[in-house]
Amino acid sequence: MIIELKIITVTLNPCIDMAFYVNTIKLGALNRAQNCVSSVGSKGINVSRVLKMLGDQTIAIAFAGGIDGDRLSAYLDIENIEYEFVKTAANVRTNVKIIEDNGIYTEFNQSGGPINADEKEKMLKQIYKASADADVLFLGGSVPPGVDKDIYAEIIKEVKKTAPHLKVILDCDGEALEKGLKEKPALIKPNQYELSTLCGKTVETVEEIEKESLKIYEKYNTAVLATMGADGAVYTGEEGTFKVKAPKIKAKSAAGAGDTFLSAFLHYKWKRTNDGEKNPQKIVENALIFAASAAAAKVEKEGTDIPTVDEMKKYI
């Protein structure tokens, strides 16, 4: 019997991504783009998109308002992704990515929101209702104005009471990550910068990342999947500590690479575990290899285009 992973993703601050490909940025002058790609962005929605591509059951929950909220709905309709949006008075934000020929990647992100108290309450009710029969709850991305930084901690604390079977994945940074971690989610997925901020010091080498990830796991019983971009990733959890190198590729867009890595890792680990494979260490090792291949395939695409399943496997 095939057991599908059912994951609820929550995006409090969704966006439309505009990626401009230019030769070189000229400050204070007119810049003409060689190409421009407009697509849906943000962590939670990207996770739903990748999981949908992999054949899993997912529902994307997000705040969405204004004309760009309608654009967001249209994008997800095209990809046949189930979603439940909480309408807001504020328009969905637009984030701008500028990719130069030399590989330099520059971003300009709007803050989003503001979200009012009534909208926040509707969002919480939507999350708790959807989580009741789900396997995984993904919470990720920035927190918009009008919402306190402890929102993820509040959600984790509540679902642990109402849906104790649920595995909560947290992928955010700064104060929101620090407060959310105290409620002991099943896994966090920081990049190097986010892990450094959480630890209060710069972590650069694989050894430093392994050391700090182990401290987090031992203190909170929370697994850590730390991504390092072109340098790969490190996983620390009950199975042990594992690392994987990233394939060497020509990058077109890093947007959504970490979300793709996480989604591919979760999918593979869940599928192999429920297929009856008995070696958890081997499952994690192979999940990391698949995730690294999937993320590399994503980086080779423009904008936030999602690679196909066959493309995700190309570097295994």
Residue at 1 is within a domain: no
**How many domains does one find in the chain?**
1
- 277 vs 189, more confident: 189
Q: Phi, psi (5° rounding) for residue 12?
A: -85, -20
Residues near 104 by Cβ (< 8 Å), separated by ≥ 6? Answer: 25
Active site residue 259: yes
Q: Phi, psi (5° rounding) for residue 191?
A: -90, -175
Mean pLDDT of 205-234: 96
CATH number for position 303? 3.40.1190.20
Residue at 115 is within a domain: yes
Residue at 224 is within a domain: yes
Query: How far is the C-alpha of 251 from the C-alpha of 246, rounded, in Å?
Result: 12
| Positive/negative CA dihedral, 197, 223, 134, 272 | positive
State residue 303's pLDDT score.
Answer: 72
pLDDT at 9 > cutoff 50: yes
Question: Which amino acid makes up residue 216?
Answer: I
- The secondary element (H helix, E strand) that includes residue 21 is strand 15-22
- 271 vs 296, more confident: 296
| Catalytic, out of 56, 135, 171, 259 | 259
State residue 3's pLDDT score.
Answer: 55
pLDDT at 54 > cutoff 60: yes
pLDDT at 41 > cutoff 90: no
Mean pLDDT of 176-183: 98
% of the chain residues with pLDDT over 90: 85
Residue at 210 is within a domain: yes
**Lowest-pLDDT range, 98-107, 121-130, 152-161?**
98-107
% of the chain residues with pLDDT over 70: 99
DSSP per-residue codes, 276-304 = T---HHHHHHHHHHHHHHHHHHHHTSSTT
Query: How far is the C-alpha of 36 from the C-alpha of 16, rounded, in Å?
Result: 13
Mean confidence (pLDDT) of the chain: 94
pLDDT at 110 > cutoff 70: yes
Residue 18 CA to its chain's centroid (Å): 18
- 260 vs 104, more confident: 260
Sheet with strand 223-227: strands edge to edge: 82-87, 57-64, 6-11, 136-140, 167-171, 187-188, 223-227, 233-237, 240-244
Question: Which amino acid makes up residue 278?
Answer: K
Q: Which two tokens stand for residue 207?
A: 């050894």
Mean pLDDT of 303-315: 91
DSSP per-residue codes, 185-205 = -SEE--BHHHHHHHHTS---S
pLDDT at 109 > cutoff 70: yes
State residue 191's pLDDT score.
Answer: 95
Number of Cβ within 10 Å of residue 290's Cβ equals 24
Mean pLDDT of 187-194: 96
Q: Tell me the residue range of the domain where 292 lies.
A: 6-25+33-312
Residue at 158 is within a domain: yes
Residue at 120 is within a domain: yes
State residue 1's pLDDT score.
Answer: 41
In 3-state terms, what secondary structure has residue 102? coil
pLDDT at 60 > cutoff 80: yes
Mean pLDDT of 91-120: 93
pLDDT at 259 > cutoff 60: yes
Residue 162 CA to its chain's centroid (Å): 24
